[in-house]
């Protein structure tokens, strides 16, 4: 395997921080559309953490781009059942922040 990119290093750092809180962690998951003719990527999950059949989703960014992360997380929450909490992790600053689910829309 070649040199890790910065994003992958931040994903690994986050996993090391949170691994004790979950039953399992998966990284770099890709969600595809269900249409058979045009199978395309509809979302990517940086870290999916599972505990007691509930999912926590983490979006990792190298810099503090919380607006983009929030948009991606809310899309994932619509696509996956059992998403409990959503988090944004800024690798550059080490900030870990919970993202609230949209309400009333």
* Unique residue bearing structure tokens 């600053």: 93
- Average per-residue pLDDT for the chain: 90
pTM greater than 0.75 (yes/no): yes
Tokens encoding 46: 């940086």
pLDDT tens sequence across 21-72: 999 999 999 998 887 777 888 899 999 999 998 999 999 999 999 999 999 9
Q: 3-class DSSP state for residue 68?
A: helix
Number of domains in the chain: 1
Spatial CB neighbours of 38, under 8 Å, sequence gap ≥ 6: none
- Decide if 91 is inside a domain: yes
* Unique residue bearing structure tokens 């997380």: 73
Are 73 and 46 in contact, with CB atoms under 8 Å apart?
no
Beta bridge partners of 45: 29
CATH number at residue 45: 3.90.320.10
What are the start-end ranges of the H helices in the chain? 6-18, 66-79
- Decide if 104 is inside a domain: no
> So what's the pLDDT on residue 15?
97
Tokens encoding 39: 């199978």
- Decide if 30 is inside a domain: yes
What domain range includes position 49?
A: 6-99
């Amino acid at each position: 395997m070649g040199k890790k990119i910065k994003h992958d290093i931040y994903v690994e750092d986050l996993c090391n921080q949170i691994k004790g809180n979950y039953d399992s962690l998966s990284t770099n998951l890709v969600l595809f559309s269900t249409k058979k003719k045009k199978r395309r990527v509809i979302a990517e999950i940086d870290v999916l953490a599972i505990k007691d059949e509930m999912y926590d989703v983490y979006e990792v960014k190298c810099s503090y781009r919380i607006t983009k992360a929030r948009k991606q997380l809310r899309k994932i929450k619509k696509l996956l059942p059992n998403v409990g909490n959503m988090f944004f992790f800024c690798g550059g600053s080490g900030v870990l922040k919970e993202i609230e689910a949209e309400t009333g829309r």
